[in-house]
Structure 1
Amino acid sequence: MKRAVGPGVLAIVSAVTVTVTASACGGSESCAGVGVTSQVGVMFLQRGYTDLAGASYELCAGGRCVRDTLEPGDITRLSLRLPDDVGPDLGAVRFRVTPKGGGSPEIDESADVKLTRQSDGCGGGAYSKGLAFTRQGGLTTKVPPVVTAAWRDHLRSLASPSASP
């Protein structure tokens, strides 16, 4: 006896196949790095500078720039998203800070950067790099322990019960 398969059954099988294929890597587990983006980031330790609250910053790399205003605080994390097809050889990253109402930048530094690939766990990934800026060390691809400690303290202050929402 031959059994006929109707169009409704084929539609359900097709929908299940598309769902499995569209899920991360086609498996039952999602990929660890789904959402990984190509970017450069700068941890800016403001110690040693006069009040930079309200100062403007510019972070440029790979023909793209992000411009915004600094928030008050001891340390700030800045990031610039890069195109998904960027490769490891980014070239120069430029970081400028101009005091509020000031005409010329107080900080104007560049560093040559080679990006590091971060896998998404599914055969894809993105290129990125973290940098740091301190008054003493300038713009560097090696994040000094003092910057790591300041960022950790900042995160703890955000998580403390006394932190405002």
Structure 2
Amino acid sequence: MVKRTVRLGVLAAVSVVALSASACGGSQPCAGFGVTSQIGVMFLQRGYSDLTGASYELCAGGRCIEGDLERQDITRISLRLPADTGPDLGTVRFRVTPEGSSNPEIDASSDVKLSRQSDGCGGGTYSEGLAFTKEDGLTTKIPPRVSAAWRKHIESLAQPSQSS
């Protein structure tokens, strides 16, 4: 009797995990399991003096994320938003303050309408990607040079490191 109870318990646990992994009760797994509401900014540092160690702040929907920049050509910053976020986000604000300064070198904002991202099960979330460049400011239209810089950055991460 104990073995049968253990087997039934294991079977029930596996069933719960399988339903959770599909993110819906249908027979087909959901393609977008794990889709999250967020706002992201790709920041092309070209045109600025060395911003290594500068602090950044990205705010939207009443939330903010802060951090420090590393020395690289492009940085991607993401701010997770509540799951119930709708398309009308409002203003997104992006600031960068050089290390040791109290005055931001960059203080940009833009009104943003979020795009719907399906979870493949009839639900979904809202999110949007933006870019910031010295020439274009904060925009939802990602300039080709930002896409190229991001592609180069990703490719460099895939290269084996050169060690002596």
Q: Judge same fold: TM > 0.5, yes or no.
A: yes
Aligned to 1:30: 29
Shift of 1:119: 0.4
Aligned to 2:161: 162
Deviations 1:24-65 (A, max 9, x none): 222444211100000000000000000000000000001100
Q: What fraction of aligned residue pairs are identical, expressed as a percent?
A: 69
Q: Per the alignment, in what secondary structure is the counterpart of residue 26 of structure 1? A: coil
Aligned to 2:133: 134
> CA–CA distance in 1 between the matches of 2:87 and 2:101?
35
Question: What is the TM-score when the length of structure 1 is the normalising length?
Answer: 0.86
* Residues 20 and 26, structure 1, Cα contact 8 Å, conserved in 2: no
Aligned to 2:61: 62
Q: Which residue identity does 1:158 align to in structure 2?
A: L
1:99–1:122: structure 2 CA closer, same or farther, 3 Å change rule? same
1:77–1:19: structure 2 CA closer, same or farther, 3 Å change rule? closer
Structure 1 unmatched ranges of 5 or more = 1-6
Alignment coverage as a number of residue pairs: 158
Question: What is the TM-score when the length of structure 2 is the normalising length?
Answer: 0.86
> CA–CA distance in 1 between the matches of 2:159 and 2:14?
46
Q: Give the alignment of 1:50-89 within 5 angstroms.
A: 50-89=49-88
Q: Which residue identity does 1:112 align to in structure 2?
A: D
Does residue 1:95 correspond to 2:94, yes or no?
A: yes
Aligned to 1:4: none
1:95–1:163: structure 2 CA closer, same or farther, 3 Å change rule? farther
> CA–CA distance in 1 between the matches of 2:73 and 2:11?
56
* Residues 86 and 127, structure 1, Cα contact 8 Å, conserved in 2: yes
Q: Give the CA RMSD over aligned residues.
A: 2.4
> CA–CA distance in 2 between the matches of 1:162 and 1:18?
42
1:19–1:42: structure 2 CA closer, same or farther, 3 Å change rule? closer
Q: Per the alignment, in what secondary structure is the counterpart of residue 152 of structure 1? A: helix
1:97–1:161: structure 2 CA closer, same or farther, 3 Å change rule? same
1:22–1:73: structure 2 CA closer, same or farther, 3 Å change rule? closer
Q: Which residue identity does 1:130 align to in structure 2?
A: G
> CA–CA distance in 1 between the matches of 2:10 and 2:75?
50
Q: Per the alignment, in what secondary structure is the counterpart of residue 99 of structure 2? A: coil
Q: Per the alignment, in what secondary structure is the counterpart of residue 73 of structure 1? A: coil
Q: Give the alignment of 1:98-109 within 5 angstroms.
A: 98-109=97-108
* Residues 21 and 33, structure 2, Cα contact 8 Å, conserved in 1: no
1:20–1:161: structure 2 CA closer, same or farther, 3 Å change rule? closer
